[in-house]
Chains A and B, each alone.
Chain A
């Protein structure tokens, strides 16, 4: 399976950005963004979809740290 070309990469990133924009607008409600999700999954290799999903989680977490600060998990027990 050949690696995506530059055109394919840009198409994938565009679909990803549209999907993420929709998620941002609807508070991460995936049901509101189904069409864009399907477009995103069709234009990007499966591995990239997984990678970008994880990346979004990371970026959100990072933003949370920057705005709210770090809250250690409340689960009991010392590490």
Chain B
């Protein structure tokens, strides 16, 4: 077929039969080839444009992520060691804000968080996930209180506390709402607070957050998906 085409190119085209309209008419296979080439070019262009659009969307999403509050903290863990967010660079974090005198919501959330982390630990293909608890009640939740409280949950669950200002700054960095209620005769009070579990990627950026409606299995599935599809952000230009 190629030889015929090449010989056709070398020979001057035959003059059209006398009386016939002078119009070039390619044989069917050549027309099919041209049509195919055209379709291929169109498909290629479409794929290239789609890839460009996707890259643009990714770029805008990354810029938006970078613009979010970085969710910083500088606190102490239950052993008294100073812990800043930068200490966890390169690690996946699953974080919850609560307080130890919490009636039901915090134990339930920590239970879900612990079960999700434990399930993910079984998978050797996944990077390690650090569970983290930050108190919203630094007045009562010192290191000893954290140790007592957290031993009922995941063994690697790290609890963080600090001064009132440090805790307030950490909560503000994650836009966490917290408000201590009125004290009773025993000095007991309940801290009203927003209930979310935060997922942070190895570059320290917030990737997702989970309300109290998300079960441990849903948490596990979502974190697994984030870990599999994770793309590190390029350093800021």
Q: Is the CB of A5 within 8 A of B148?
A: yes
Who on chain B is nearest to A44 by CB? B103
Residue tally, chain A, CB below 8 Å to B:
15
Query: A70 near B: Cβ within 8 Å?
Result: no
B107 and A9 form a contact (CB under 8 A): yes
What 1/0 mask marks residues of chain B from 106 to 127 whose CB sits below 8 Å from any chain A CB? 0100000000000000000000
Residue B149 at the A interface, CB < 8 A?
yes
**CB pair A48 B152 closer than 8 Å:** no
Q: Assess the A6–B107 pair: CB atoms within 8 A.
A: yes
In the assembled complex, the Cα of A51 lies from the Cα of B101 at a distance in Å of 12
- Is B184 among interface residues, defined by CB-CB distance under 8 A? yes
Residue contact B100 to A52, C-beta cutoff 8 Å: no
Query: B186 contacts A48, CB within 8 Å?
Result: no
Q: Which residue of B lies closest to A46 (CB)?
A: B184
Residues of B within 8 A of A (CB): 100-101, 103-104, 107, 140, 145, 148-149, 152, 181, 184-190
Pull 17 A–B residue pairs with CB atoms less than 8 Å apart, ordered by A: A1-B186, A1-B187, A1-B188, A2-B148, A3-B100, A3-B101, A3-B149, A6-B107, A13-B104, A45-B101, A45-B188, A46-B184, A47-B101, A47-B103, A47-B181, A47-B188, A48-B103
Spell out A's residues near B (CB within 8 Å): 1-6, 9, 13, 44-48, 51-52
List the 4 closest pairs (A to B, CB-CB), nearest first: A3-B100, A6-B152, A48-B103, A47-B188
